[in-house]
Amino acid sequence: MTRMLYLVIVVAFLDTFIQLPIITPYSQELGASYALTGAIVAVYSLTNMIGNILGGHWIDKFGRKKMLLTGMLLVSGILFLYPLAQTGWQLFIARFFHGLAGGVLIPAAFAYVGDNSKIESRGKTMAYTGAGIGIAAIAGPAIGGAMAARSSITNVFILVAVLFLITALLITIFIKESYVTTERGKFNFNDFLPLLKHPLLIQASLAAFALMISNGTLAFALPINVELMGRTTETTGMLLSTFGIVALLVFLTPMNRIFDQVDDIKLVLSGLLLIGISLISLSFIITLPLSFLAMIIYGLGFALIFPSMNKIVADASADVDRGKAYGIFYAFFSLGVVAGSSISGWVAENLGLPFLVSAILMISIAVFIGFIAKNNNQLE
């Protein structure tokens, strides 16, 4: 069952990564302005945030499997609507409902993983989930960019819709519920409040917010950088896949022992600083080789952050509130994409420095997380 959960995570994140190199050009193909394009990129994550919170509630109330299966089927249906969009605003509406439906998927999958992982090896387990993200990050942009360049953008959405249908069938057959009825009886919506005040969950959520600010910035601004270099969406896909390859090397080699040996907060802070350096570099780089180097640095930062912050959430929660904890956590994840792509759209239109602004935000959040850690005696 655990291996099947990794597959579910790959497919769920593929939905996001495969669209990174194509959603901006597709929006502009439909006549959207820079501002509307930024909104189209962002609205998925805005409504995904709402879906995360509601999904966290339902995951603990109704169980992991039911909500995971429901989310998969709804997302598949909505993806079939993407090729029907004729204007930027129609695409905006499709993205709106896509985010709502997809909001339950990742919290449910990670609640499953948290339920089935042992505390002493949880860091390594989360590294394997990170490997799932890495696979999606490698395959998604490459497939999306190549299909858009050689076939059509609409075929990308159809492909993902079919993958979701197949995965829903596999969930029905192979995944068993990990959350028993007696535990569900303990559920209380008011349990959100103490979770929102938990220092560990606050730090993990801020890390997720910062990480996805950077990812939202990449989704909006990197295709524009590539276009300025005179290259196609296929090049954008290759650049985005690069950071996934680097992260995968960390997740699947003996280097993944670091996640059970080094303090989670230290790993998160190191990763945030590396990503800040990468974004500053992308702000000034206009050559392809140096762009690849910047994405390698980004991949190292991503690799340090992702398993660490997911491990923090699992450690800070119990079975009875793990769905809610991951719902809150991934709501901040989604909020970061909203902020990243929205700010990038505005900055690109008015200042022309989306990567630099994102880097400043990343470093500022790293400082704030370090401040919280120091006040709670987490840093030696």
pLDDT along the chain (380 residues), means of 10: 81 87 88 85 84 86 87 94 92 93 89 79 86 82 85 90 94 78 53 82 93 83 80 78 86 90 92 94 83 92 93 86 89 80 75 83 92 78
CA distance linking residue 215 with residue 345, whole number of Å: 13
pTM over 0.75: yes
Place of tokens 């959207």: 32
- Residues 199-245: tens digit of each pLDDT: 899 999 999 999 988 887 887 788 888 877 877 777 887 887 788 88
Residue 380 resides in a domain:
no
**Residue 129 near residue 120, CB atoms below 8 Å:** no
Query: 157 is written with which tokens?
Result: 């959405």
| Within a domain: 184 | no
Please report the pLDDT score of residue 300 as a whole number: 94
Q: Let me know if residue 182 belongs to a domain.
A: no
The beta strands (E) that lie in the chain are given as none
CATH number for the domain spanning 22: value is 1.20.1250.20
Integer-rounded Cα Rg, in Å, for the chain is 19
Q: What is the pLDDT of residue 190?
A: 67
Measured between alpha carbons, how far is 24 from 15 in angstroms, rounded to an integer? 15
Is 352 contained in some domain?
A: yes
Round to whole Å and give the CA distance between 19 and 16: 6
Identify the pLDDT of residue 163: 94
Does residue 185 lie within any of the structural domains? Answer: no
CB 130 within 8 A of CB 305: no
Q: Is residue 369 part of a domain?
A: yes
Count: domains in the chain: 1
Residue 45 lies in a domain: yes
Predicted confidence at residue 182, as pLDDT, reads 46
Sign for the pseudo-dihedral over CA of 53, 55, 56, 61: positive
Per the structure, the complete domain to which residue 118 belongs is given by 2-177+191-375
Whole-number pLDDT of residue 288: 84
What is residue 191's predicted lDDT score, i.e. its pLDDT? 65
Model pLDDT for residues 21-78, shown as the tens digit of each residue: 888 889 988 988 888 887 888 788 788 889 998 888 888 888 888 889 999 999 999 9
Output the DSSP codes for 15-38.
HHHTTTTTHHHHHHHTT--HHHHH
pLDDT attached to residue 116 = 76
Report yes or no: 347 and 357 within 8 Å, Cβ to Cβ. yes
According to the model, what pLDDT value does residue 188 have?
56
Look at residue 25 and tell me if it is in a domain.
yes
